[in-house]
Structure 1
Amino acid sequence: MKSGYFGPNAMFAPWALWQQMAQIAWDSQAVIAMRTAGLMGLVHQDAGEPQRMVQEKADAANEAMTAALRAAARGARADQVVSAALRPYRRRTKANARRLSKSS
């Protein structure tokens, strides 16, 4: 069977999106906890972390919008467009969790 709108990939798309969002949520909670501890002075944190925290939100939103628009322009399915939009957030939350856990 061809992997178009009714193929096996499309059938498991909701599960893949849920998994992607769950991992982002898990890592986001860890990042929030580590940053909060840093802002409270409980762990060492770079002086530029609050600025970085704000700037990365705008950068991630810009990357997500660009990725979603590119996927939609290629004629991707809706789940593929959402997945493309989530990828920049996933990459950033994963990198932040890794970076902040090393510094604490």
Structure 2
Amino acid sequence: MFGPWYSATMLALESQTVIGMRLAKIASGSEAGRAEAQRMVSEKVDAAIEAADMLLAGGSPDAVIARYREHVRANAERLSAL
């Protein structure tokens, strides 16, 4: 409806919440923080591979952004439940 710019902007805004929650957890220095750092790195690699696969299969950039937003939403829900 609003085009790719809206989705990309929303991804950037929504990601800031997750980044803040992750940084707070990592900064605690706890075992949970270390696990979150490892999870974050592996999720980034997995998401990049998934995005490349989607694009190579003919997916649109909008579809890639929508999928990233799903990942961000899931992380926000998981991190805020703690």
Q: Which structure has the bigger radius of gyration?
A: 1
Q: Higher relative CO (CA 8 A, sep ≥ 6), structure 1 or 2? A: 2
Write out per-residue CA displacement over residues 71-94 of structure 1, whole angstroms, 9 at most, x where no aligned residue: 25xxxxxxxx11122233111111
| Pairwise CA distance, 1:67 | 0.9
- Please name the residue that 1:98 is paired with: 77
**RMSD of aligned alpha carbons:** 2.1
Q: Which 4+ stretches in 1 moved above 4 angstroms? A: none
Partner residue of 1:88?
67
Give the TM-score of the pair, scaled to structure 1. Answer: 0.67
SS in 1 for 2:57: helix
Rate the CA distance shift 1:57–1:83 in 2: closer, same or farther, 3 A: same
Unaligned runs of 5+ in 1: 1-11, 73-80
- Give the paired residue count: 81
Structure 2 length normalisation: TM-score? 0.82
